[in-house]
Structure 1
Amino acid sequence: MTAPVVFLPENPVPEGGEAFWLRAEDGARLRCIKWTGGDCSRGTVFLFGGRTEFAEKYFEVAGELRQRGFAVVTMDWRGQGLSERLLADPRKGHIADFAQFDRDLSRLMISVAPAMPRPWMALAHSMGGQILLRAAHDHPEWFSRVALSAPMFGLRFSPWMERAIRGMTALLHTLGRDEAFVPGGNEKAADETPFEENILTHDERRYALLQALTRTEPALGLGSATVGWLHAAFRSMDMTSAPDYLARIRAPLLVCEAAEDALVSARSLAHAALHAPNALLVTVPAARHEILIERDDARAVFWAAFDRFTAQA
């Protein structure tokens, strides 16, 4: 069944894209897009965004992958983009357990991946990087290589601030407040923040495009995380940061750190790169958290690292 796509002249869909609904195991609708025509001689890249993100945000990236000879598959994570939302308030970014993301990804790999050319690789940003780290651990047969942009391996808090936030989150979780916004959170989407106040990118043109997409289709917008999402994120990050967990990840990992990241802990990325046996850590200078929508000079550093990494496949 065909799924909708938001079209803007300044953000063209790479040629040959096919949008469709994937039914999760519990019946939830997950929006996917795949590109399979033309040159797919280098295999398939499974492309995944972070929290709040959606497929249209990565059309430029999908096009760049297509130019490199890859087929591409992307999916809006459950609870965001045009995939099914979990709460009555669609602006609440919620998940009860990251294992739900695991199940949705497994559905994609069982239902869609077998028809895609090999080798299969993955490229994921932020929260998507946390989910893909779990996948690399649990399903080593899926991806021959995994490239990660500012992956959410740890959040950027001072030690005392993290203890306070963890304590408050645990208390609110115990009190049954999982579906409430985190303290201070609201329905405003990150892309609705004025450019001058944003902490995601230095690139005004690409940021304006994200704002235009959300204005054109407000259903793409997602506000702050819920208490439940943050509680689940802490549990997942604690599990995946254990040295023995990382040591069992055998797929080559490219971990790209944004030098000016205000959201992800640089220490957590260095820790993962130290303990995962086939990990390479690359720092992208002059980049905020959203490396893939940064200025061209920062993106060029990422793509050079990606090209070296995938040339070894």
Structure 2
Amino acid sequence: MSHFTLCSEDNLASKYVTAIQPFWQETVQHGNFDGVEEPGEMEKVAIAYAYALHPQALGAVVISSGRIESLIKYKEVVYDFYQNGYSVFIHDHRGQGLSGRMLDNSQIGYVGNFSEYVADFKKFIDEVVTEKTPHKPKLLCHSMGGTIGALTVLRYPELFEKVALCAPMFGIRPPLPDWLANLLLNLHASINKKNTYFFGQKNYDNQPFVSNELTHSEIRYQLFRQEYQAAPQLQLGGVSGHWLKMAAQAMNEVEQYVHRFPIPALVIQAGADQVVDNKRQSRVVAKMANSKLMVIEGAKHELLEEQDKFRIICLTAILNFFR
């Protein structure tokens, strides 16, 4: 189905042990840097990152991951891009993964402002990526990482050569009318501190595969959950009211300025997405300069962790686009 070398579900359980984990231990390097200091922060937030340098690299790929995600969850993805000739770089956004958390309850999804994510990302490119590779990097984003990636590209148009956005968070489900969303956010803010869970949100929950909304791939889902059970510090629960408010602002900013998007973009939509709002995503992409939309019918939100029949289409399109 593709001329690229990609992992397959058939033997993934054994390959994870015999090839991907050893690659992660032997080839992948890890580090930390201090995230950008924001006014009023008590202490610096440490940003964790990892990279794999290919000895005959065709180019470099930088990954901007989604909410609750960690570079640990991207072992297979990093391995696949490396096998296809790329040096690969990934960091954990502040407040999740192996990066520092800002609240006493480390499970609450929180950020002061999405511009903090962008500032950390810029620092990662400047201090790590450009130091390690001569190639102008390509950007691969998933979900919330798509919002962060789009804002970064709009603010720093010279950083990346092109960008692939998988199921980008340009709108959140369920899509509420603005007046109702604002009413709920303001109501929550009036009765709670900004660092408390939004209505109905709670600590990390290891959902069984049958009730998950993320992927049809049982093996990929189990591997992700195993990693998060083995390293509880990766775990993250639901979002704070403040995070939701900042996310709404960030998504509005993307939609407002996306008509001047400066570099080629491939947007891949998961046809059966239950996490982001595809209607709004399509609307934003229609306004987006330099973009092409591809829909993978029937796929769930996590295109990079989906069943082979969806994932191979997605990764083949990205690798062709990057070439």
TM over 0.5: yes
Q: Distance in 2 between matches of 1:103 and 1:195?
A: 35
By how many angstroms is 1:269 displaced?
2.1
1:102 counterpart (104, 108, 118): 118
Answering whether residue 153 of structure 2 is matched by residue 136 of structure 1, we say yes
Q: Deviations over 1:83-120 (max 9, x none)?
A: 00010111111112101101111111221122223121
Alignment of structure 1 residues 109-148 onto 2, 5 Å? 109-115=125-131, 116-148=133-165
Answering whether residue 295 of structure 2 is matched by residue 278 of structure 1, we say no
1:254 counterpart (258, 263, 266): 266
1:30–1:158 Cα change, 3 Å: closer
By how many angstroms is 1:33 displaced?
0.3
Q: Distance in 1 between matches of 2:175 and 2:108?
A: 26
Sequence identity percentage: 29
Q: Paired residue for 2:230?
A: 216
Partner AA of 1:114 in structure 2: T
Q: Paired residue for 2:248?
A: 234
Aligned 8 A contact 1:22 1:30 in 2: yes
By how many angstroms is 1:163 displaced?
4.0
1:17 counterpart (15, 22, 28): 28
By how many angstroms is 1:37 displaced?
3.6
Q: Distance in 2 between matches of 1:65 and 1:148?
A: 15
Q: Distance in 1 between matches of 2:35 and 2:173?
A: 32
Q: Paired residue for 2:5?
A: none
Q: Distance in 1 between matches of 2:175 and 2:79?
A: 38
Partner AA of 1:22 in structure 2: F
| TM-score for both structures, normalised by structure 2 | 0.88
Q: Paired residue for 1:302?
A: 314
Give ranges in structure 1 of 5+ residues lacking alignment.
Answer: 1-7
2:302 counterpart (272, 290, 302): 290
Q: Deviations over 1:12-44 (max 9, x none)?
A: 14451101111223232111001114221x221
By how many angstroms is 1:275 displaced?
1.3
Answering whether residue 56 of structure 2 is matched by residue 39 of structure 1, we say yes
Q: Distance in 2 between matches of 1:48 and 1:90?
A: 21
Partner AA of 1:167 in structure 2: L
Answering whether residue 91 of structure 2 is matched by residue 75 of structure 1, we say yes
Q: How many residues align?
A: 298
Q: Deviations over 1:113-162 (max 9, x none)?
A: 222231211101000000000011110100110111100001122444x6
Q: Paired residue for 2:107?
A: 91
Partner AA of 2:318 in structure 1: F
1:210–1:94 Cα change, 3 Å: same
Q: Paired residue for 1:207?
A: 221
Q: Paired residue for 1:198?
A: 212
Q: Paired residue for 2:13?
A: none
Greater shift, 30-39 or 222-231, is seen at 30-39
Aligned 8 A contact 2:53 2:88 in 1: yes
Give the secondary structure class of the aligned counterpart of 1:112.
helix
By how many angstroms is 1:274 displaced?
1.4
Give the secondary structure class of the aligned counterpart of 1:308.
helix
1:306–1:88 Cα change, 3 Å: same
Q: Distance in 1 between matches of 2:80 and 2:179?
A: 41
Q: Distance in 2 between matches of 1:267 and 1:303?
A: 23
Give ranges in structure 2 of 5+ residues lacking alignment.
Answer: 1-15, 38-43
By how many angstroms is 1:211 displaced?
1.1
Aligned 8 A contact 1:264 1:289 in 2: yes
Alignment of structure 1 residues 155-174 onto 2, 5 Å? 155-160=172-177, 163-174=179-190
